[in-house]
Amino acid sequence: MTGGSGLVGNGIQTIIGNDKREDEEWIYLSSKDANLLSREETFAAFDKFKPTHVIHLAALVGGLYAHIGNNCEFFRKNMEMNDNILQASQRNKVKKLVSCLSTCIFPDKTTYPIDETMVHDGPPHASNFGYGYAKRMMDVQNRAYSEEHGCMFTSVIPCNIFGPHDNFNLEKSHVIPGLIHKAYEAKKNQTAFEIWGTGIAVRQFIYSLDLARLTIWAMREYKEIDPIIFAPDESDEVSIRDVSVMILEAIDFVGEVKFLTDRPDGQLKKTASNAKLRSYLPEFKFTPTRQAIEETVKWYNENHDTARN
């Protein structure tokens, strides 16, 4: 598994700790094991470990702030990394490759809810088009490798992920870890809690441990080349304003809250359908957002000094 020390990688390690099968040996790679931007280092890692199955989680990622003005870097580096992993997997006759994409791949102008058939219907949102296109190309490459080489390469498309071991750096984080870090500092320094935008944008959020369970299922059971969306039900969609309230309550913040309405909201809506997932796993229970935020805040409070800040 690439990205083994990241948010989802740590979640998978946690779940596998309680659900490891006798015929499985899990190897968690991090940037210390190989620079996946290097074709030589990527191939060397595959030659060393000789994987039969691969979960590809590693990526250059970031929130709205990180993407603005950096779309070229996000496109180029993610394309290089993904191409190296796909080539190495095909070269080593990997039986199955599952790559983790993002709902950022979907068109900006579309109808809702979005589903797996709509990936290539138009350009992604302008704020993060570099990342969106690079991730979208994984689906194109999966189909090409299947057609030309018979490879079982597929992908999963999670909505906004958060949880323990997240990246809480204010310039590189996604929305929930960024807000948790801001709330922590505002409480510590007795300053105002500031939120970019109006807070009206809505999102589906998935807890990293839920995504870990679903990704393990995909590796073991999912047999389609076509991607599958991992997202809670549409009724679980929540606004950034409401998420902020949950975070402030969990961190026990009492103070001024400011919405910086001169800053961008980003894409206002990205509602994704989980109908395909429900056709496979109708009884899967997602962790409620409030509970997941409380657990993440608790982890951050306990691990602030060593967390990615």
CA 9 to mean position of chain CA atoms: 10
Closest by CA position to 42, among listed 85, 103, 86: 85
Cα angle: 67, vertex 213, 110; to 5 degrees: 45
Would you call 131 a catalytic residue per the annotation? Answer: yes
Pairing relation of β-strands 205-207 and 257-260? unpaired
Closest by CA position to 275, among listed 231, 244, 240: 231
89 Cβ contact list (under 8 Å, min separation 6): 46, 54, 97, 151, 153
Q: Are 95 and 151 in contact (CB under 8 A)?
A: no
Q: Identify the bridge partners of residue 53 per DSSP, sorted by sequence position.
A: 96
How far apart are alpha carbons 228 and 258 in whole angstroms?
38
Residue in 65, 131, 222, 300 annotated catalytic: 131
Catalytic residues: 131
